[in-house]
Structure 1
Amino acid sequence: MTDQPTLAGLAADLDSGRTTSRQLVEACLAAIADPKGEGERVFIHVDKAAALAAADAMDALRKVRAAPSPFAGIPVSIKDLFDIRGQVTTAGSRVLEDSAPAEADAPAVARLRRAGFVVIGRTNMTEFAYSGIGINPHYGTPKGAWQRDVGHVPGGSSAGAAVSVLDGMAHGALGTDTGGSCRIPAAYNGIVGYKPTQRRVPLDGAVPLSSSLDSIGPLARTVACCAAMDAVLADESFTPLVPRPIRGMRLAVPTTIALDDLDEAVAKTFERALATLEQHGAIIERIAVPEFLDIGPISSKGGFAAAESYAWHRYLLTSRGSEYDPRVSVRIMRGESQSAADYIDLFAARRSMIERAEARIAPYDALVLPTTANTPPSIANMADDKAFAKANILSLRNCTLINMIDGCAISLPAHRQGEVPVGLMLAGAGGSDRRIFELAAGIEGVIRG
């Protein structure tokens, strides 16, 4: 659990008059501006005037009992991948800086605004969302939660999104997740990150990485916070989340790939969490999921991400390729060698894998696995290309398993206070979002022992 304010707690404070939206926004702006903090690296753009004006508007509506939702007036951050009307969407890059301002909000942003959330600014990210580490050579790299005096990566690609919530610069964050970009930074920073079933939230108005795999999800402090934001993003009616009892939960630990090459701290924390769940009555079974073995061959030529990102970037790379982060452009360029037949084959292979994987996991309430195979590496160590490549693979690997089977998943903090951050992931087949939230709400208060 968290000792920082939750969305439900803030909503209650706003409703009772114990606080105002202006006070919340001013506190977030102060955290962003703190010269000793990470705000300069967390935000690419802070919309101070608009945020304060929106806060005043929400306070006025609340005075006449006309707030559009219980969460009206709560400040949130927006990943720099999304269109915000009147602003340039740079996607963590320099090559889009001279693009025309967006003519309309992305649907995800519009839905948050419609619920009364206050947009406080655009958060930094891995350039074009193409990494799980969170390094950005253009706008700087915000330090993650672990050992700030040393400086460890925040996780990516929703790097600034996670740190904005961690450091009280926002009370929720809008992110994207193609291979873990909501869950990895959540795991590295000890917060909660959610990847929904892809089809639930429209992708329009967001710079794509892979249209086949991209998902739009929230990062926040608790499961209930993520569930509330997810309902808004999916344009669903919000109903209070009822945690499922741990006793009788049927959880499957996939032994295929997901437990390979774990950092010692990840393995120790994960096994301790499993033991705690069993003590509370969960039924945990370790199972092989051979379908996961298909992902390597399917992606051997770069997979969906390379093919689809190359299609989007190919003209920009021709004209401004030297301005890209080389670690990003080299991955995009893998798509150049894929043929139309290769691309069509990807869909057939993935459809088969999804069908087989869904049948295999159907008897269980959820899969449970470490969110990442590694703990957050230091920023300094990521200057070495080989170290970066290894860390990037280990950060993305487990999350990618779920994107490839078109599932939904949540990352919960599993470490104890003072330990290196480690995330535990609950995942299910596409369409099981509500169940995953209920299961996660049931376990989040106990898995840290």
Structure 2
Amino acid sequence: MLADLVSTRSHVAAGHSSARDEIERCIAAAEGPTCAHVFRQTSFDQARAAAAVPGVERLPLAGLAVSVKDLFDIQGMTTAAGSTVLREAPPAPADSPAVARLRRAGAAFIGRTHMVEFAFSGVGVNPHFGTPAAFDARHGALPGPARVCGGSSSGAGVSVATGAAFIGLGSDTGGSIRIPAALNGIVGFKNTARLVPTEGAVPLSTTLDTACALTRTVRDAVVAHEILAARRVTRSPAPLSAWRLAVPATLFLDGLDATVARAFDRTLSRLRAAGAQITEIDLAETAQLADVNATGGFSAAESYAWHRALLARHGNAYDPRVKSRIERGASMSAADYIDLLHARRAWIARMQTAMADFDALLSPTVPIVAPPIASVAPGSERDAEFFRVNGLLLRNTSVVNMLDGCALSLPCHEAGELPVGLMVWHGALRDDPVLNIGLLIEQELQKQ
């Protein structure tokens, strides 16, 4: 199992290793076969220079490797958002706030990572530049055919899972951090959206977009969140038995793959044996989301508003699957959009009432294990399967984005199983309880 950022930082501070040594290890991983299609652009020399800055080991990230999704501005680089449409865009004049905060904390940026074009899919497939294959951070390469790594932060997830980066900066609009976390055996934390600035990032949905990160452990997720949100997480000494947890039955447990069902049930049994209070609830309000989003949802409307001029000039250069989803927004009227805003507010209020008695909810992050890339590869003959898989991968995670909530995905599978994620989640600004509970669950699962 890969060493995490917290332990590596301690080794560097104690003189048992150095940021320079750690950067070389990450570069070796980035250049290895498991990182095929992971990076759109590498910046190894800049990372080496950042790791060599005097005193960097005293900073929170200690000169360790961080990857950046090709969605965020890095000064002097072009932000292409996984597309050919923007490849001639001028270099960014300044770092996005998320990148700037990581840089000030001592990050060594190792490269820009592949992503789904314009972040509009949870599968991870990109017809322009290739698709990274999933890699289990806990148990190594997956058996059998190459499998999807999840999206849209596809390269970010694999960069962390393979050891090329300690943190993968990404975004989450409907699950784009948590899906790669689940399919690669790592951790993804989607904070409450308002806590981290999204300026300097190509938008998908200005309502739902969240800037956040993938890490190797939950304690690393706390470090990354504190840097990105410029705030301290309030730690709680309360044991696992003191937290009130719920498992919602509606929607979240429908049609689970056998591996996911087995891992989720086993995890609940272990947590209950450790004293966790876990109550099963209906949470029927989640079934109402289909009606709320019937006219296309925020992502279609808001992405179309941003892309319509580009589509008019370069529509043929778009991934057809992405283009079709963006163009759904053309048919949404202003009245439909206003109705959607009101419907979302009312739905959030009902959800908050239903969840009020609990500190966090537990669900499978995604209901299926990673399917083979070949089954959803670009090609109209595979479109039906692609959209079926995409819908399943986004089903559970997207509830949290519509809730304006926060969620953590952490691995809960065993050796011999394909990666499975456990999602710990709640509503807006419940980030600290979710992270505290996640730390306790991680500690309990690591005992097994």
Read off the aligned partner of 1:167 and give its amino acid letter: T
1 CA distance for matches of 2:36 and 2:317? 22
Q: How does 1:393-404 map to 2 (within 5 A)?
A: 393-404=391-402
Read off the aligned partner of 1:444 and give its amino acid letter: E
Residues 232 and 238 in structure 1, CA contact (< 8 A), matched pair in contact too: no
Distance 1:166 1:446, change over 3 A: same
1 CA distance for matches of 2:414 and 2:167? 22
Q: Secondary structure at the match of 2:321?
A: helix
1 CA distance for matches of 2:238 and 2:134? 31
- 1:414 matched to 2:409: no
Q: Secondary structure at the match of 1:38?
A: helix
Deviation at 1:78, TM superposition (A): 0.5
Q: Which of residues 107, 120, 127 in structure 2 aligns to 1:130? A: 120
Residue 162 of structure 1 corresponds to which residue in structure 2?
Answer: 157
Deviation at 1:445, TM superposition (A): 2.8
- 1:329 matched to 2:323: yes
2 CA distance for matches of 1:310 and 1:170? 33
Q: Secondary structure at the match of 1:444?
A: helix
- 1:177 matched to 2:172: yes
Q: Secondary structure at the match of 1:44?
A: strand
- 1:18 matched to 2:16: yes
Residue 209 of structure 2 corresponds to which residue in structure 1?
Answer: 214
Q: Secondary structure at the match of 1:247?
A: helix
Gaps of 5+ in 2: 137-141
Residues 233 and 432 in structure 2, CA contact (< 8 A), matched pair in contact too: no
Deviation at 1:129, TM superposition (A): 0.6
2 CA distance for matches of 1:288 and 1:76? 40
Residue 223 of structure 1 corresponds to which residue in structure 2?
Answer: 218
Residues 121 and 322 in structure 2, CA contact (< 8 A), matched pair in contact too: yes
Normalising by structure 2, we get a TM-score of: 0.95
Residues 25 and 52 in structure 1, CA contact (< 8 A), matched pair in contact too: yes
Residue 355 of structure 1 corresponds to which residue in structure 2?
Answer: 349
Q: Secondary structure at the match of 1:85?
A: coil
Deviation at 1:54, TM superposition (A): 1.1
Residues 34 and 135 in structure 2, CA contact (< 8 A), matched pair in contact too: no
2 CA distance for matches of 1:400 and 1:156? 13
String of CA shifts for 1:255-278, please: whole Å, max 9, x gaps: 111111111111121111111111
String of CA shifts for 1:54-81, please: whole Å, max 9, x gaps: 1111xx124xxxx562322111100111
Residue 378 of structure 1 corresponds to which residue in structure 2?
Answer: 372
Deviation at 1:149, TM superposition (A): 4.6
Residue 438 of structure 1 corresponds to which residue in structure 2?
Answer: 436
Q: Which of residues 35, 38, 45 in structure 2 aligns to 1:39? A: 35
1 CA distance for matches of 2:233 and 2:404? 24
Read off the aligned partner of 2:231 and give its amino acid letter: E
Q: Secondary structure at the match of 2:151?
A: coil
Deviation at 1:200, TM superposition (A): 0.3
String of CA shifts for 1:223-264, please: whole Å, max 9, x gaps: 00011000000011467x557422233111111111111111
Q: Which of residues 327, 336, 346 in structure 1 aligns to 2:340? A: 346
Residues 249 and 281 in structure 1, CA contact (< 8 A), matched pair in contact too: no
Distance 1:165 1:350, change over 3 A: same
Residue 6 of structure 1 corresponds to which residue in structure 2?
Answer: 4
Residue 61 of structure 2 corresponds to which residue in structure 1?
Answer: 71
Residues 243 and 439 in structure 1, CA contact (< 8 A), matched pair in contact too: no
Q: Secondary structure at the match of 1:162?
A: helix
String of CA shifts for 1:310-343, please: whole Å, max 9, x gaps: 0011111111111111110000000000001111
- 1:119 matched to 2:109: yes
String of CA shifts for 1:411-442, please: whole Å, max 9, x gaps: 01011112111111000111110110100100
* Percent of residue pairs bearing the same amino acid type: 48
Read off the aligned partner of 1:4 and give its amino acid letter: L
Read off the aligned partner of 1:113 and give its amino acid letter: R
Q: Secondary structure at the match of 2:51?
A: helix
Q: Secondary structure at the match of 2:46?
A: helix
Residue 311 of structure 1 corresponds to which residue in structure 2?
Answer: 305
Q: Which of residues 20, 24, 27 in structure 1 aligns to 2:25? A: 27
Read off the aligned partner of 2:95 and give its amino acid letter: D
Q: Secondary structure at the match of 2:396?
A: helix
2 CA distance for matches of 1:148 and 1:317? 40
Gaps of 5+ in 1: none
1 CA distance for matches of 2:440 and 2:237? 4
String of CA shifts for 1:343-400, please: whole Å, max 9, x gaps: 1111100011111111110111101111001110000111311111111100000000
Read off the aligned partner of 1:81 and give its amino acid letter: L
Residue 51 of structure 1 corresponds to which residue in structure 2?
Answer: 47
Distance 1:244 1:161, change over 3 A: farther
Normalising by structure 1, we get a TM-score of: 0.95
- 1:141 matched to 2:131: yes
Residues 68 and 114 in structure 1, CA contact (< 8 A), matched pair in contact too: no
Residues 243 and 442 in structure 1, CA contact (< 8 A), matched pair in contact too: no
Read off the aligned partner of 2:339 and give its amino acid letter: D
Q: Secondary structure at the match of 1:252?
A: strand
Residue 229 of structure 2 corresponds to which residue in structure 1?
Answer: 234
2 CA distance for matches of 1:151 and 1:372? 19
2 CA distance for matches of 1:173 and 1:442? 23
